[in-house]
Structure 1
Amino acid sequence: MHPVVRLFAGTAALALGVASAPGYAATATTTFNVRVTITAACDITTTAPTDVDFGSQPSTATNVDNQGALNVNCTPSAPYTIALDNGQNGTDANSRKMSNGTELVPYQLYRNAARTAADIWGSTTGAGGNVYAGTGDGSVQNIPVYGRVPSTNFAAGSYTDVITATITY
Structure 2
Amino acid sequence: MKLRNVPLFAFIAATAFAGAAHAAIDTTQFQVKITITESCDVHTVNASDIDFGTHVRSTTATPIDNQGALQLNCSRGTPYQIALDPGLNSSSPTAAADNRRMTNADGGLVPYGLYRDAARTQFWGRVLGTNTVGGTGTAAQQSIPVYGRVAATDVAAGVYLDTITATVTY
Cα RMSD over matched residues? 1.9
Measured in 1, the distance between the counterparts of 2:45 and 2:78 equals 19
- 1:55 maps to what in 2? 53
Structure 2 counterpart of 1:137, which letter? T
Out of 122, 127, 130, the position equivalent to 1:124 is 127
**Partner amino acid for 1:38?**
I
Following superposition of structure 1 onto structure 2, how do residues 33-112 of structure 1 map, counting pairs within 5 Å?
Answer: 36-46=34-44, 48-60=46-58, 62-90=62-90, 91=92, 92-94=94-96, 95-100=99-104, 101-112=106-117
- How far apart are residue 43 of structure 1 and its match? 2.0
Letter in structure 1 aligned against 2:107: T
Identify the match of residue 113 of structure 1 among 89, 100, 118. 118
Unpaired segments ≥5 residues, structure 2: 1-30
- CA deviations over 1:74-129 (Å, ceiling 9, x no partner): 0111100010001011113220000013110000000110101xx10000124xx1
Q: Give the letter for the 1:98 counterpart.
A: M
Specify the alignment match of 1:29 in structure 2.
none
User: TM-score when scaled to structure 2?
Assistant: 0.73
What is the percentage of aligned positions where both structures have the same residue? 53
Gapped regions of structure 1 (runs ≥ 5): 1-32
Q: Take 1:82 and 1:70, find their aligned partners in 2: how far apart are those partners? A: 9
CA distance in 1 between partners of 2:46 and 2:169 (Å): 18
Cα distance between partner residues in 1 of 2:127 and 2:120: 18
Greater Cα shift, 49-58 or 59-68: 59-68
Matched pairs, number = 134
